[in-house]
C-alpha cells in the first residue's frame, strides 16, 4: 500500500463490534468469496450489500515475488472497482 501512497502501518483488523452503534454504513461490499460467505448478511443502516468476487491473494502459493505480485494485482483491482463504483454513483471524488 505504501507503493500506492497509502500508509496502513497503524491499521489492524477490527471486528464488527468496533462499529456497531457508532457509525452508519449504507453499503457493505465484500471482496472475496470467503468474506461474502462469512460476513454478516444484515448490518444496521446498510441499504445495499454487494459482492465483488476477487481472488484472495493471501491464499496464493508461490515465491515471495509472485505473492507480492498477487497482492499488487488485488490492490489495483480493488482501486479500479472502487473508482468505477463511485463514478456510477455520480459522487465527486475528492
The answer to whether residue 10 sits within a structural domain is no
Q: How far apart are CA 85 and CA 45, in angstroms?
A: 19
Whether the pLDDT of residue 90 is over 70: the answer is yes
The answer to whether residue 68 sits within a structural domain is yes
The answer to whether residue 3 sits within a structural domain is no
Q: What pLDDT score was predicted for residue 94?
A: 62
Tell me how crowded residue 55 is: count the other CB atoms within 10 A of its CB. Answer: 14
**pTM, rounded to two decimals:** 0.75
The answer to whether residue 2 sits within a structural domain is no
Q: Are 78 and 31 in contact (CB under 8 A)?
A: yes
The answer to whether residue 84 sits within a structural domain is yes
Print the domain residue range for 73: 22-89
The answer to whether residue 63 sits within a structural domain is yes
Q: How far apart are CA 42 and CA 16, in angstroms?
A: 12
CATH of the domain at 35: 3.40.50.2300
Tell me how crowded residue 32 is: count the other CB atoms within 10 A of its CB. Answer: 19
Confidence of residue 68 (pLDDT cuts 50, 70, 90): very high
Query: Which H or E element spans position 34?
Result: helix 33-38
How many domains does the structure of the chain reveal? 1
Amino acid at each position: 500500500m505504501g507503493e500506492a501512497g497509502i500508509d496502513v502501518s497503524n491499521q489492524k483488523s477490527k471486528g464488527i463490534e468496533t462499529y456497531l452503534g457508532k457509525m452508519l454504513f449504507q453499503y457493505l461490499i465484500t471482496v472475496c468469496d470467503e468474506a461474502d460467505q462469512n460476513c454478516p448478511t444484515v448490518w444496521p443502516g446498510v441499504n445495499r450489500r454487494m459482492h465483488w468476487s476477487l481472488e484472495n491473494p493471501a491464499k496464493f502459493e508461490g515465491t515471495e515475488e509472485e505473492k507480492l505480485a498477487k497482492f499488487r494485482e488485488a490492490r489495483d483491482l480493488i482501486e479500479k472497482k472502487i473508482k468505477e463504483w463511485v463514478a456510477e454513483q455520480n459522487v465527486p471524488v475528492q
